[in-house]
Amino acid sequence: MNATKIEWTSATWNPIIGCRRCSAGCDHCYAERMASRLAGMPGPVGERYQEVLYSDGHWNCLQRFVPEVVEQVTPRQKPRMIFAGSMSDWFYGGGLHGVERCIERIAYCRQHTFQLLTKRACEMREYQREVYPKGFPQNLWVGVSVEDSSRLKRIGQLRHVKAALRWVSFEPLLQPIDAVYLHGIDWVIIGCETGPGRRPMDLAWAEELAASAKQQGVPVFLKGLNIDGNVVKDPAHPQWPAWAVRQWPQERQEER
Ligand code: SF4
């Protein structure tokens, strides 16, 4: 488990690494870039990442389960928000055995809140039905990433996943999304793309999406915006707009 600067969580936990690109949101995959950097490290961490990358630094579509990392979260730790799987998409099909071990651990460490994101909503839904027919553990928030209108069906699939909390990450937001139906969704994150080659997000796209979520009573968290050609993540920035709120799901809001 590692501390992180990601604004909507406090730590990342990666007992599963490796992935396969599947849609436009993957084009500048941050996890792949990070994996490529880690693969250059001496020792077991570097070796582990070398196993999931081609020599050119792209995902080789293998998924690696790392049992020793599972045990980095324990029931005695102070409660934290933990992004589970920032270096993979657990449901891309590379190794569901590892996923089960991870979710068992999540259920065991009940004081933490784990946040999981996937682009394979259908696979996650099937997995939940088969392995956790009564629903995922209460401390697991499950979400999907949606980058453009063509991927809105992921939200429809997420709606059928039995979980304590369902969320949608519109990051990187690559196009305006006109009609989004958020029934059954508890939290929305919106953010622009970052890193080399980033595709700019129009402020109006984010504003419209935030307004739509507000109208449907869904809390919104604006993670990052393009302002004058720069990525801005600080709400104290003088040009950060008033509509760009950072809200948490209801249950979390009550704790804060
Ligand atoms: S699903 Fe996520 S981790 Fe996997 S390639 Fe796409 S952006 Fe990267």
Residue ranges of domains in the chain = 2-255
Tokens found for residue 32: 């792949």
Classify residue 20 as exposed, middle or buried by CB count within 10 Å of its CB (0-12, 13-18, 19+). Answer: middle
Supply the pLDDT for residue 95.
65
pLDDT in tens, 35-71: 999 999 999 999 999 999 999 999 999 999 999 999 9
Closest CA to 12 of 81, 62, 77, 75: 81
Atom of ligand 1 nearest to the CA of 118: 1
**Sheet of strand 220-227: strand arrangement:** 2-3, 11-13, 81-84, 113-118, 140-145, 165-170, 187-191, 220-227, 230-232
pLDDT in tens, 73-90: 999 999 999 999 999 999
Supply the pLDDT for residue 250.
77
Supply the pLDDT for residue 93.
80
CA of 245 to the centre of ligand 1 (A): 26
Tokens found for residue 142: 């499950």
Supply the pLDDT for residue 185.
98
Supply the DSSP symbol for 208: H
Residue with the smallest CA separation from ligand 1 atom 7 is 26
Q: Which residue in this structure is represented by tokens 């720069």?
A: 230
The response to whether residue 34 sits with its C-beta less than 6 Å from ligand 1 reads no
The response to whether residue 32 sits with its C-beta less than 6 Å from ligand 1 reads yes
Supply the pLDDT for residue 251.
60
Helix 96-108, helix 121-131: angle, nearest 10:
70
Residue with the smallest CA separation from ligand 1 atom 1 is 89
C-alpha of 133 from chain center: 23
CA of 26 to the centre of ligand 1 (A): 5
The response to whether residue 171 sits with its C-beta less than 6 Å from ligand 1 reads no
Closest CA to 182 of 171, 163, 169, 201: 169
Supply the pLDDT for residue 254.
46
Residue with the smallest CA separation from ligand 1 atom 5 is 21
CA of 19 to the centre of ligand 1 (A): 6
pLDDT < 70: residue spans in the chain: 95-96, 251-256
